[in-house]
Structure 1
Amino acid sequence: MALTKPLVFSSLLVATVCLPLTLSTKAHADDYSDLLDILRAKGSLTQREYNTLLSKHIHRTSTPTPQRATSSAPHATRTASTASTHHTLGQGTHSIQSAYEDGIQFDPGAEGDAGTRAQLAADRAEASARSAQQALLSTQNMMNSSSVVRVAKYVPGKGLTFKAGPVDINFSGFINGFYTYNSPAGGRPVAGGVSTGSSGFDSSSVRNGLLPAGFLLKLSTTQSGIDMSAVLGMYPGVNNAKNGAFNANTGGSPVGLGTAGIDLRQVYVTFGTKEVGTFKVGRDLAIFGSDAILNDATLLSVGSTGSNAAPGNTSLGRIGVGYVYADWIPQISYVSPTIHGFQGSVGIFQPLDEFNYAGENLSAGSTQHSSPMVQGKGTYDFKIGGVQTRIWASFLVQHHQGLTSTTIAESQHRSAMAEAGEIGAKITYRGFQGVAYYYRGSGLGTTGLFFDGVAANGRKRSSEGYYVQAMYNLTKKLKVVGSYGVSNLYQAPGETDSILVRRNQSEVGAVYYSLTDWLNLVGEFAHTESAAHNGNHNSDNSGSAGVILLF
């Protein structure tokens, strides 16, 4: 704007100077002098510009203008004395012949100087515009430089993403905490059961839910047309850790001077393209059972408590009471592109041991594996009207070698092939969401992968389970959930009745309120029952209230 005004006024003055003198010289001189005075008073003209323009005006108006001869000859011409008429503006008086302050010297210049100055001003404006454009391009180049770190637009629940040159750095996570009161309803012990009903004592705890805390770091980039990423996920709990078979997930140790456990569940790389698919190498959630747990509403609450008097890193949620835990397993896996809603995945995984979870010499174990575990899954997503639907089916196969028990020696080279399959569906319509899931296995076991899957006599046990869940958003912030689930473990051929778990089941009702984009309030009630093959039975009730923050 500071550059535009002088250019406009200069052009105006040039145009005024060049107008034909059709009016009387006296009137033109007064109007032009008035205009110069006004422009100088407003600061639009410097003193030198004012002097130069006024000098030109004096020179032009003092030159006689030829006129046609008329009968009034004495009045045909205007002399320089006429041009010396005084002009007054405010308190300032200018004589055309001495219109400048004492001591001021100036060069009236040629008549074309005003036009030259206008051209120079235009050139300066153009140069300034070029300079501004170059500065903008320089700034853009600097922002795209690998030495500049930018922040991508934040999306609630998706973490913070920083762009360092060609690398995206995403940091996300969650933290939760619950007060849980568990009241055993009594009963007799069940080996491998998930209910605390036979403990005989009420318990209070401040603990994690099915999720511990989680802090995930992901680095992503594209090189030579290949999309790749590196992921590290740490999952610490709030309760004291206790050494045991399940490491950080073993029941806790509520003793002074304890420390929380850190569960490094994720460390993997991915690479691939949209056309080829994505490969994964490292430790991450397995394929079989993953949709079951990721769609479980108790993932954001507590569900079945497990050990509440000495809580570990997590509760059970619906693990063992509707599905077998997918687990975090070293793997080399592949996920295909999505084609018309279909997508497939398959992988080889670190083989896991058959594990005598129930104790009491009820199950066989194994430690020898000549081949990897294999898992695969297919999913189909589609929408009919306003109903969004996902259907999935998955399988698992692993060969167990070197089975041992109180009746099987390792030298006998007994083996068993564990096999399992699952199917599930999830539908979403407006504020409603429903999930239905079913699994069946041979040698799969219950609760955890290959927990009590093979009997002490070396024969495989069959197992199955399911859960159904309904969720409804009463408002944008408030939703209610109800779910029911069962896990059954059947006896192997040749077994006799024992305290081995036959059935775990639970009913869960919960309310979730989104206080903010990050913070959710949770209230929940859960009833859990366990039954053994010999008729033993127990149950418990628990109430939980807490918060979970996701960022």
Structure 2
Amino acid sequence: MASKKRALLLPVMATSIACTPFMTAPSALADDYSDLLDILQLKGSLTKHEHDTLLAKHLSHTASAASHAAPASRATAHPVRTASAAGARHAAQAGHALNSGYEDGIRFDPGAASSRAELAADRAEASARSAQDAMRSTNEALNSNSIVRVAKYVPGKGLTFKAGPIDINFSGFVNGFYTYNSPAGGRPVAGGVSSGSSGFDSSSVRNGLLPAGFILKLSTTQSGIDMSAVLGMYPGVDNAKNGAFNANTGGSPVGLGTAGIDLRQVYVTVGTKEVGTFKFGRDLAIFGSDAILNDATLLSVGSTGSNAAPGNTSLGRIGVGYVYADWIPQISYVSPTYHGLQGSVGVFQPLDEFNFAGGDASGRPLSASSSQHSSPMVQGKGTYDFTIGGGVQARIWASFLVQHQQALTSPDLEASSRRSAMVEAGEIGTKITYKGFQGVAYYYRGSGLGTTGLFFDGVANNGRKRASEGYYVQAMYNFTKKFKLVGSYGVSNLYQAAGEDSPLLVRRNQSEVGAAFYSLTDWLNLVAEYAHTESAAHGPNKESDNTASGGVILLF
């Protein structure tokens, strides 16, 4: 009887010994082969019995190999084959050796199970090779120049596609406003931006300070050099009218008209992070760029200019706080940022002195003009970004502009006088952001710079330069992530030149603007705005107007 009990306990003990690694080692000996068995069982390639048999034999072999300090070179040379086919076959052989010690009549013959294990191991090895080949093929396809991928979308940053080594970004904006302008009366001011003396209220459906914009940018890196090409098209919604300012001339609200396209941006950039970036082509100039880019009316209407016959854009705060930077052909350079400091400088297509004010009561021009330039316009800027205390972010910028105006002409100057003037201007500004608050303060001063646009009425008929200056202050507060209010006030002054007496010439343009913005979605913003604009001459003439606007601007 005792002999029979011992005979019955032997296989149980042997089975317990054989299964001990399976019971105690999975957390310590888990490997890719174990994971592969789990995957094959989930896919239906292995039954649960086959899975458990293979796993037990694999772990038994692994534990045995570790106890005898077996070399690991073969496992690292081909982990899938060693852990699957060879491991399963060795486990099957170990099963034969273990079972050979069983007493007669209760011995377990693993022959069939061993064959199935070897077959499953072969299938596992083939499946692993197939998976590796598929992954390698997928990686090669993703890196192929024939595959176009889409980058993660970031609101306001456009859509970016990657075609081989080239990034293709398409971004833009579209807006439309209903604008009601009510003149408050007064007499005309030459060079003024108010519509107060027009005598008639006007309604329009128009663009704001921004027209629509569609910008295409292609960028890549070749031989360690970062480069890009940019094309920016800016169409309006109102009828265009040919004039000195092309698409930005006052419009023509007559049937069968068509909108204009302003090709503001056509340029390439070349550079590296260590050296900086060079730009060649047409883009926003340096002087005055921060002033307009930080102006809240960039996303609304501001002063309307001509509202009865709207052009491609309104004025915003142009001429009532700063001189328009403009989009000018250039070769410019921007340095890398060093501890918050960055510099830029460039040579630009020189622009003419322009008689924007028109003529006096007799039709005599109020300002000199020029059309000859032997040297380029030069502009430069320095910026400093820094943080104060507990999260106050600040930026300070300062820039300059220099251009030699030659061959000035006017009724008071003979063509042979070869009168010239060196235009000089400087600006300084700051922007402070703290939590939901943002504030901007800006000031400029120039000699021969003029007002509203670059070199508009900058030189008097006698050939002498007029001084000009201006500023604006702006406060913005985000009450929620979606809703914000903005208020701003700005002034542009133009002084008479020495020896000049032009009572109709504009002396002062100023405006107050209040606006509310609500972000309905990541793309769509609702805007409501009120603006009051005044113009005053050097003589008694003054005029003012009030404007209410409401609409949407979509940015993508």
Tell me if TM exceeds 0.5.
yes
Cα contact 1:365–1:404 (8 A) shared by 2: yes
Q: CA 1:66 to 1:148, structure 2 compared with 1: closer, same or farther past 3 Å?
A: closer
Equivalent residues in 2 for 1:327-346, closer than 5 Å: 327-346=326-345
Q: Does 2:45 correspond to 1:3?
A: yes
What's 2:254 paired with?
Answer: 255
Moved more, 507-516 or 127-136: 127-136
Deviation string 1:331-352 (CA, Å, 9 cap, x unpaired) is 0000000000000000000000
Q: Distance in 2 between matches of 1:278 and 1:301?
A: 32
Equivalent residues in 2 for 1:49-64, closer than 5 Å: none
Cα contact 1:329–1:349 (8 A) shared by 2: yes
Q: CA 1:166 to 1:12, structure 2 compared with 1: closer, same or farther past 3 Å?
A: closer
Q: CA deviation at 1:409?
A: 2.3
Deviation string 1:417-472 (CA, Å, 9 cap, x unpaired) is 00000000000000000000000000000000000000000000000000000000
What's 1:370 paired with?
Answer: 374
Q: Distance in 2 between matches of 1:288 and 1:545?
A: 31
What's 1:95 paired with?
Answer: none
Moved more, 114-123 or 5-14: 5-14
Q: CA deviation at 1:6?
A: 6.5
SS in 1 for 2:153: coil
Q: CA deviation at 1:5?
A: 1.7
Which of 428, 431, 451 aligns to 1:426? It is: 431
Q: Does 2:437 correspond to 1:437?
A: no
Q: Distance in 2 between matches of 1:111 and 1:271?
A: 72
Q: Distance in 1 between matches of 2:526 and 2:480?
A: 14
Equivalent residues in 2 for 1:294-309, closer than 5 Å: 294-309=293-308
Q: CA deviation at 1:10?
A: 8.5
Cα contact 2:517–2:525 (8 A) shared by 1: yes
Q: Distance in 2 between matches of 1:168 and 1:148?
A: 12
Q: CA deviation at 1:14?
A: 11
Cα contact 2:366–2:502 (8 A) shared by 1: no
Q: Distance in 2 between matches of 1:175 and 1:362?
A: 38
SS in 1 for 2:47: helix
Equivalent residues in 2 for 1:364-513, closer than 5 Å: 364-384=368-388, 385-513=390-518
Q: Distance in 2 between matches of 1:223 and 1:237?
A: 37
Q: CA deviation at 1:128?
A: 0.3
What's 1:177 paired with?
Answer: 176
Q: Distance in 1 between matches of 2:55 and 2:405?
A: 100
Consecutive unaligned residues in structure 1, runs of 5 or more: 16-59, 68-77, 79-109
Cα contact 2:183–2:198 (8 A) shared by 1: yes
Q: CA 1:402 to 1:125, structure 2 compared with 1: closer, same or farther past 3 Å?
A: same
Q: Distance in 1 between matches of 2:473 and 2:244?
A: 31
Q: Distance in 2 between matches of 1:469 and 1:122?
A: 74
What's 1:31 paired with?
Answer: none
Q: CA 1:437 to 1:131, structure 2 compared with 1: closer, same or farther past 3 Å?
A: same
- How big is the alpha-carbon RMSD for the aligned residues of Structure 1 and Structure 2? 1.8
Q: Distance in 2 between matches of 1:476 and 1:10?
A: 56
Q: Does 2:284 correspond to 1:269?
A: no
Cα contact 1:7–1:118 (8 A) shared by 2: no
Q: CA deviation at 1:11?
A: 3.2
Q: Does 2:524 correspond to 1:525?
A: no
- Residue identity in the other structure for 1:375: Q
Q: Distance in 2 between matches of 1:117 and 1:210?
A: 78
SS in 1 for 2:400: strand
- Residue identity in the other structure for 1:373: M
Cα contact 2:407–2:415 (8 A) shared by 1: yes
Q: CA deviation at 1:9?
A: 6.2
The number of equivalent residue pairs is: 462
SS in 2 for 1:122: helix
Cα contact 1:284–1:329 (8 A) shared by 2: yes
Cα contact 1:7–1:121 (8 A) shared by 2: no
Cα contact 1:14–1:114 (8 A) shared by 2: no
Q: CA 1:9 to 1:311, structure 2 compared with 1: closer, same or farther past 3 Å?
A: closer
What's 2:137 paired with?
Answer: 138
SS in 2 for 1:4: coil
Q: Does 2:163 correspond to 1:164?
A: yes
Consecutive unaligned residues in structure 2, runs of 5 or more: 1-40, 58-98, 360-364
Equivalent residues in 2 for 1:239-254, closer than 5 Å: 239-254=238-253
What's 1:119 paired with?
Answer: 118
Moved more, 127-136 or 455-464: 127-136
Q: Distance in 1 between matches of 2:104 and 2:358?
A: 128
Q: What percent of counterpart residues are identical?
A: 82
Equivalent residues in 2 for 1:20-169, closer than 5 Å: 112-169=111-168
SS in 1 for 2:291: helix
Q: CA deviation at 1:118?
A: 1.2
Moved more, 1-10 or 413-422: 1-10
Moved more, 419-428 or 4-13: 4-13
Q: CA 1:9 to 1:162, structure 2 compared with 1: closer, same or farther past 3 Å?
A: closer
With normalisation by structure 2, the TM-score equals 0.81
Q: Distance in 2 between matches of 1:186 and 1:523?
A: 24
- Residue identity in the other structure for 2:276: G
Deviation string 1:193-215 (CA, Å, 9 cap, x unpaired) is 00000000000000000000000
Q: CA deviation at 1:119?
A: 1.1
Deviation string 1:31-78 (CA, Å, 9 cap, x unpaired) is xxxxxxxxxxxxxxxxxxxxxxxxxxxxx9xxxx979xxxxxxxxxx9
Q: Distance in 2 between matches of 1:222 and 1:543?
A: 48
SS in 2 for 1:11: helix
Q: CA deviation at 1:535?
A: 1.6
Q: Distance in 1 between matches of 2:434 and 2:48?
A: 66
Q: CA 1:13 to 1:188, structure 2 compared with 1: closer, same or farther past 3 Å?
A: closer
Q: CA deviation at 1:289?
A: 0.0
Q: Distance in 2 between matches of 1:534 and 1:465?
A: 20
Q: Distance in 1 between matches of 2:52 and 2:481?
A: 63
Q: Distance in 2 between matches of 1:456 and 1:413?
A: 14
Q: CA 1:314 to 1:66, structure 2 compared with 1: closer, same or farther past 3 Å?
A: closer
With normalisation by structure 1, the TM-score equals 0.82
What's 2:9 paired with?
Answer: none
Q: Distance in 1 between matches of 2:52 and 2:531?
A: 85
Q: Distance in 2 between matches of 1:135 and 1:546?
A: 53
Q: CA deviation at 1:121?
A: 1.2
Moved more, 124-133 or 242-251: 124-133
- Residue identity in the other structure for 2:548: G
